[in-house]
Every structure is written in C-alpha cells, then in structure tokens.
Amino acid sequence: MDSKKADEQLQLIRQAQESVHKINRRGGGGILIVWGLVWLTGFGVAQLLPATWRIWSWLLAGGIGAVVSTLIGVRLETQIRYPQTGPLLGRFYAGLLFFALLWLFLARPESGAQIAVLLLTFIAFSLFVSGLLFDAASLAVGGLILGVTAVALFLLLPAHFIMLVVMFGGSGMLLSGTILLVKGSRDG
C-alpha cells in the first residue's frame, strides 16, 4: 500500500472514531439527563408524599427512567454497534436495576435519606463491577469513592444528606448530560 492509500485509510479510521465519540456524547448526555430528572423528580415527589408512598414514587420514577434509557440505547444501537460490550452492559444494567428496585421494595426504607443512600450504593456497585468487567480502573475506583462518600455523608451529615444528594447528584447528572449533549451537537 502506498503512502497516499495509507493516509486515506487513516483518515477514514479517524472519521469513524470521531463519529463514535459524537454518538456516545449524545447518548450518554441523554441518559444522564434522564437519570438527573428521575433523581430530582424522585426526591421532589417523595418529599411531598406520605412515607408509605415514597418507595412507590421511586419505583415508578426508576421504571420510567429505565424505559427511556432503553429507548435511547436502542436508538444508539442502530447508529453504532458494540458487539462485545453492548449486550453485556445492557443485560448487566437491566439486571442491576431490577434487583435494585426489588431490594428497595423489600427493604422498605422509611426516609428519603435511606432511599438515597441505597440508590447511591447501587450506582457505586454498578460502576465498580463495570470497571472490573471492562478493566477500567477509573470506573472501579470511582465506584468505590462514590460508595464510601455516600455512606460517610449519610452517617456524618444526616440532616443535610438529602440536600447534598439532590444538589450534587441530580443536578450534577443534568449538568454533565447537558455538557455532553452540547459538545456532541457542536461536533456535528
């Protein structure tokens, strides 16, 4: 292969990589926005409802978030294929969400703070396991840090825990998702 053909092939590879990054930013941004809204709605509604209805509001919000995330994932699947990791991640997160909602139902936490710390540790666990499965140390370490931080804040600052979770959790997901979407839109 001559250098001109090699340069053309390299350019095609770069274009394909950039296309994958754009799609990932848009999809990841959309999913973060969905879960940021679920988080904010779940806490907002849970604070207005009697304690006996809080778990049902979270089950409903989580179910809606799962359906919308699945729709986003299916749309992404039509644009780009992840033959090894896509189906594995999809099954893992679907199973994790099912068990997280089941455990929330069975545990019947009595306060919004208890619901929040359980949800945060589920998320931390999923990040940790994803990091192990895909040999991504940053995900595994991030999961550990999130889990330890959530439990520490829950135990050390119980009066401010919900406010901190809403501010940094839901709002953080919304902000991160918006940044990813804007970046993906600017790219193409």
Distance of CA 45 to the CA centre of its chain: 20
Contact 115, 58 (CB under 8 A): yes
Token output for 5: 């053909």
Token output for 9: 């092939």
Domain count, the chain: 1
Which of 155, 74, 73 shows the shortest CA–CA distance to 120? 155
pLDDT of residue 68: 86
Q: How confident is the model at residue 155 (pLDDT cuts 50, 70, 90)?
A: very high
Residue showing tokens 């306060």: 111
- What angle, rounded to 10 degrees, do the helices at 85-107 and 112-133 form? 150
Helices (H), the chain: 3-48, 51-79, 85-107, 112-133, 137-156, 161-165, 171-187
- In angstroms, the CA 140 to CA 132 distance is 6
Contact 71, 82 (CB under 8 A): no
What does R_g of the chain's alpha carbons equal in angstroms? 19
Domain boundaries, position 101:
3-187
Least confident of 30-39, 71-80, 120-129: 71-80
Per-residue pLDDT tens over the stretch 4-34: 776 666 665 666 556 555 555 556 677 778 8
pLDDT of residue 164: 84
pTM of the model: 0.61
Phi, psi for 72 (deg, rounded to 5): -65, -45
Q: Which amino acid is at 162?
A: I
